[in-house]
Amino acid sequence: MNAIITAPELASDLAGPNPPVLLDVRWRLGGPNLRSEYENAHIPGAVFVDLDSELAGPAGAAGRHPLPDPELFGAAMRAAGVSENRDVVVYDGGQGWAAARAWWLLGYSGHPSVRVLDGGFAAWSGPVSSEIPSPAPGTFVPTAGARPSLDADGAAALARTGLLLDARAGERYRGEVEPIDPVGGHIPGAVSAPTSENVTEDGRFLPSAELADRFKSFGVTPATEVGVYCGSGVSGAHEVLALAVAGVPAALYVGSWSEWSRDGDRPVAVGPDPQ
């Protein structure tokens, strides 16, 4: 199944006999959450999911958005109506990062059918609602590890033996600025590949062939083991999604730079070159 779905395709599915569960994951880095926007207008039937409290654990040594507690995550998904035998579609405001985090986490936790609305809520031209739904409880129970992930040691090793992509903006990779984490720069050996360049101006993904060409330019081949990191495992999930659209499997380093940069024993590279 394709990892993304267009707005017309979603409208068709919602009108069909087995409509998907809809999750609204609108989010702003640094908060507050965008529940007020959801309450004002959302795709009918969509349930709001808060990235910071439901798709991540408390910030700390493991990063700003570590994996959530499986029991709490499972309870949040069941409350939203998620079951393992029902398709799920996730969307955010249009940037795609938060929706990709939900897509990645549900897939990592064993859900077999999750798609991201390409272009997010901004791409939706159908009816909207301010009614807060009360879905029947779902049955989804997370089982970790269905998608590949990396810890810090794994990311360091992959930067040497495979291809580790840094999904952040180039200036953060180069260490010219660092607005959030303790220090700027990148994991030695990682290649700069900003995820913002995987989409058009309106937030839709580039065609799969163009994405494949872009990743090939970074060194992706059929035999390449690929991993991705970002600041805290959110925009990195978006790059993993872009790679999936291009037909390339990739692992996510969930702790990402927010974990790596907090460990003073971890090396830091600066400048435009991987090393």
Residues 155, 90: one domain? no
Residues 118, 215: one domain? no
- Grade residue 198 by pLDDT with cuts at 50, 70 and 90: very high
Angle, vertex CA 32, rays to CA 53 and CA 175, nearest 5: 90
pLDDT, tens only, 153-193: 999 999 999 999 999 999 999 999 999 999 999 999 999 99
Could you tell me where the beta strands, DSSP code E, fall in the chain? 4-5, 21-24, 47-48, 88-91, 114-117, 149-150, 163-166, 191-192, 226-229, 251-253
pLDDT, tens only, 116-159: 999 999 999 999 999 999 999 999 999 999 999 999 999 999 99
In whole angstroms, give the CA distance from residue 6 to residue 11. Answer: 9
Q: Active-site residue 230, yes or no?
A: yes
Q: Total structural domains in the chain?
A: 2
Residues 119, 186: one domain? no
Q: What is the pLDDT of residue 33?
A: 85
Catalytic residue among 164, 230, 248, 250: 230
131 part of a folded domain: no
Residue 74 maps to which CATH number? 3.40.250.10
Residue-number span of the structural domain to which 39 is assigned: 4-123
Could you say which of 123, 138, 163 is where a domain stops? 123
159 part of a folded domain: yes
Terminal-to-terminal C-alpha distance of the chain: 37
User: Strand pairing partners for 192?
Assistant: 166
Q: Do residues 203 and 97 lie in contact, with contact meaning Cβ atoms separated by under 8 Å?
A: no
- Grade residue 275 by pLDDT with cuts at 50, 70 and 90: confident
Residues 182, 237: one domain? yes
Q: In what order do the strands lie in the sheet with 191-192?
A: 149-150, 251-253, 226-229, 163-166, 191-192
